[in-house]
Structure 1
């Protein structure tokens, strides 16, 4: 998901990481930036990102800006979303997306590069950065600055940041760069409407659209050649008294283990107090190190699995209809992919007590339930390494296919034209009218499916593109509805939930899912559905900068949200031109994962070209 498909894989990967890093730095307000229009057929203008030390200066910069004040310069296809203020340096930028950027990143230089094929574009940029207010002296050229790690170190030079954290983030950026290069060098083929859902899960090329560590995978004991999509699932023997078990977890796992052992002619422990817990093969060393009373069954008593897009959730052909969400001590996108005791406790109870009572249209939205789980009892920071959740997989009906939405938004598949997304390819969306018709239906169904539980039950699903699956008619290609999964990332206002369902549902003390007010459920929903999910679809179908996609969204929100509901004001009222935006990089700098960090972002819902 990048505009750099004209570049070789290594440079393309560098741009993919760098563009995300710059997007976060600017949009999250970690660095200031101005948009400067230029006279060029190649770009509408330039994003001039200012250096770290200028964050401490007065909001209105009234002095000349010199070379050391400029962090990076990026040519843009279209104007970014601004903060609504114009300065002598340009328009203050509020939100810039990687897809806004052309695949070049520059720094000021005293030395002109030789044989520069982008000379005309660079000249157009420099011709607008003249005194006043720009005073660059001998720095009259632009040099390439695609390397993300160097830009990261340049950014943190001016910060009081713990050295260990600084080095850790640098390693994560390097990992993201390496894995992204691998994906660009060996891209998957694009599946079709007749492909099984798991092929779509494993067809991601770039993954998260804005996270700088979007492709990072870090686990010290695992070789870089390990195939995360095809792991083996082993089984731990855990004393029943040491586990908190929900649902029919024990019975299901015993049945799977007994049939597996019988196939290979192996005997099982005879201790009746043992419960078999599935574990990822790469998690075994962590488990044996942390849990003295846990053993692992013989390696022959194991099952092959296919990982979904999240890597830690797998399906097992020997147990169809069930997905295993397993703790794995691997960092993906800078977060450790373990499973908390909160998640293990919450999913089965919420699935049984609440999901059947939610205000949902079952024709257009299905919820994948989490009926069973097991988690070791004890210190939360330890037990998260030995947790398993069983999820019921939605089974498509005859003539229906299921596709994880993140896969639809990907580009760069083997054999496809550069810049053509999977959704454009499989549905032959080759005209503006076709794209508009599809997008309008997609947005309408998404709003009608996912917003009612928020409105009437106080339940915010985590509706980013990896947690939502689209259901299509395999013959006509018509979008039928959605499936939402993963109950671990919800936000819920308990009083609204209890009143609307008539159920006195309880939360474990300290569980981040529970919010103090109804309004606190809104930012997570906005981030996942609008900022992460729909923004990407609107952009790849070419309906962001002309505002048409956001006009569609406003229309459908007005149809779904009652006039007197506070959600309508929060998203649609003119005075709410800015909304709380989730800050991925700020969270990483603060070392938090489950606790959200928000900063004001321009409200995408209200976007129009006139108000950019």
Structure 2
């Protein structure tokens, strides 16, 4: 692609994630330095001592944000967040020559000899470089799009807020990667307004949960597709997925393709149907491209659990937590898993009409720590008028306090919601411009501890209980997931964006968390407090998994608990 004015920024977004992973996963040594005649601080990355003679590059130097925490011994507090790293990035060789570089693929090529134990073979190295390059190039396209958009406000639609999430995953080096599952796929196309296709498949090859066809029928009628052949069902898919659908399901036939009927959400595989079609569900479909560590297919077990988890969460959650209900699903059956997942689709209820009826805006939580193009303030600051440190602290207390009230008690009941900031929607009252509440989406992210549910007299579907991806081996496994998604991800990135990643900010969180844990509404509050106040917590090693060619088999590094800062 032609290099644009956004190329360096895009490359560095991927590079800073790559470098943060190298540091956090213990793959390199690093020291903190202050530049002469300057207050600027830099990190110097080098090969571990036993690999120091293996590379022509002696060190890599990258800037460090002035707000980054440093302990009493002058060491940077880990894990490092990617946004704490700053340009420039310099590579120095053993001759003393310096090269400035932002391209993540080229950086990995220069320093891969520092980490020989982490790279089993050269083909895996080459694939990783290609995926890093792919991520940076897609990030460049997103930056171009971002600078063409007007800033959002409380009158903006939910899908407009989805489009403010331009950087993808905040930590993963493949944050904007779109790497095809198969060489037969030419590209994912435009995921901002993706083209959709409708295919007809024999009923005996499909399994549904919930009233899938009746719920899809209003959209089919608006598109002029209401007539289906006897014994056949029409289902939607991404047009970019058609080559795999038609090759893996020979009896499937293309009915019609449409451009301009849907808008892509932040998750890429979910779309909102454009307002003129007056359709009250979103579509979640298989996208056969790798984003971060996974091919973004919807798997048969995910389709099966969606409606069950919706009912379970609605039954046990606080009534003030809106649930983005997944009402019907379809998946392949009587075929191999690869073919079955190609045609999976989940229908998710659109909550925006409900929000508008109460004069509320529905905003994806991750948008709050993003900024409009050229803006100096985050959306959280502009929407809620956060001018002073006191304003930010007061708002943070209300925000996290309410979120904790709604999701923490479920942990004591054997359920964890995946509450990272892409799955949580913030409800804002348009009249008072104040926080009204939250909604949760993505029932595939819900995990359960079957024995704890059964102790409460809750019958767990036998088939669901056998799905290893759904059930947790222990309550602590559930709680670790909550710490990862709610504390490390959601709260951590919000605090850093507000400049509150310090003892003051985390003290506020601890105070609000304790209020919930010691309330009558929270089962197992004492046990949960003991867990959340633990000295160390696990952090996932994304890069090591990628380099091993097993991106979903994450090793865990133990670091001091961020909540206790």
Superposition pairs for residues 267-346 of structure 1, below 5 Å? 268-271=227-230, 273-299=231-257, 304-317=261-274, 318-346=277-305
C-alpha separation in 2, matches of 1:591 and 1:530: 28
C-alpha separation in 1, matches of 2:505 and 2:170: 18
Q: Which residue of 1 aligns with 2:526?
A: 565
Instruction: Return the offset for 1:154.
Output: 3.1
C-alpha separation in 1, matches of 2:512 and 2:161: 28
Which residue among 307, 321, 324 is the counterpart of 1:348? 307
**Does the aligned pair in 2 maintain the 1:31–1:55 contact within 8 Å?**
no
Instruction: Return the offset for 1:151.
Output: 1.8
Q: Which residue of 2 aligns with 1:98?
A: 82
After superposition, the Cα gap between the structure-2 partners of 1:91 and 1:355, relative to the gap in structure 1 and judged at 3 Å, is: closer
After superposition, the Cα gap between the structure-2 partners of 1:476 and 1:503, relative to the gap in structure 1 and judged at 3 Å, is: same
**Does the aligned pair in 1 maintain the 2:58–2:93 contact within 8 Å?**
no
C-alpha separation in 2, matches of 1:33 and 1:382: 46
Which one is further off, 242-251 or 561-570?
561-570
Q: Which residue of 2 aligns with 1:15?
A: 12
Q: Which residue of 1 aligns with 2:190?
A: 227
Is 1:373 the counterpart of 2:329 in the alignment? Answer: yes
Is 1:470 the counterpart of 2:433 in the alignment? Answer: no
Deviation string, structure 1 residues 355-404 (Cα, Å, up to 9, x no partner): 2331x3222x1111212101001322331111001111222033211000
**Does the aligned pair in 2 maintain the 1:81–1:96 contact within 8 Å?**
no
**Does the aligned pair in 2 maintain the 1:35–1:80 contact within 8 Å?**
no
C-alpha separation in 1, matches of 2:511 and 2:156: 34
Q: Which has the larger radius of gyration?
A: 1
| CA RMSD in angstroms, aligned pairs only | 2.8
- SS of corresponding position for 1:330: strand
Instruction: Return the offset for 1:446.
Output: 1.6
Q: Which residue of 1 aligns with 2:339?
A: 382
Deviation string, structure 1 residues 157-185 (Cα, Å, up to 9, x no partner): 34242333222221111111112223334
**Does the aligned pair in 2 maintain the 1:470–1:479 contact within 8 Å?**
yes
**Does the aligned pair in 2 maintain the 1:464–1:528 contact within 8 Å?**
yes
Q: Which residue of 1 aligns with 2:45?
A: 49
Q: Which residue of 2 aligns with 1:598?
A: 556
Which residue among 482, 485, 488 is the counterpart of 1:528? 485
Instruction: Return the offset for 1:253.
Output: 2.6
**Does the aligned pair in 2 maintain the 1:498–1:505 contact within 8 Å?**
no
C-alpha separation in 2, matches of 1:298 and 1:9: 37
Q: Which residue of 2 aligns with 1:244?
A: 207
Q: Which residue of 1 aligns with 2:455?
A: 499
Is 1:177 the counterpart of 2:158 in the alignment? Answer: no
Q: Which residue of 2 aligns with 1:488?
A: 444
C-alpha separation in 2, matches of 1:143 and 1:163: 24
C-alpha separation in 1, matches of 2:247 and 2:26: 41
C-alpha separation in 1, matches of 2:150 and 2:536: 39
C-alpha separation in 2, matches of 1:225 and 1:351: 30
TM-score by length of 1: 0.82
C-alpha separation in 1, matches of 2:493 and 2:306: 29
Aligned length: 543
Q: Which residue of 2 aligns with 1:4?
A: none
Instruction: Return the offset for 1:67.
Output: 9.1
Deviation string, structure 1 residues 508-543 (Cα, Å, up to 9, x no partner): 534312111110112222121122211111011111
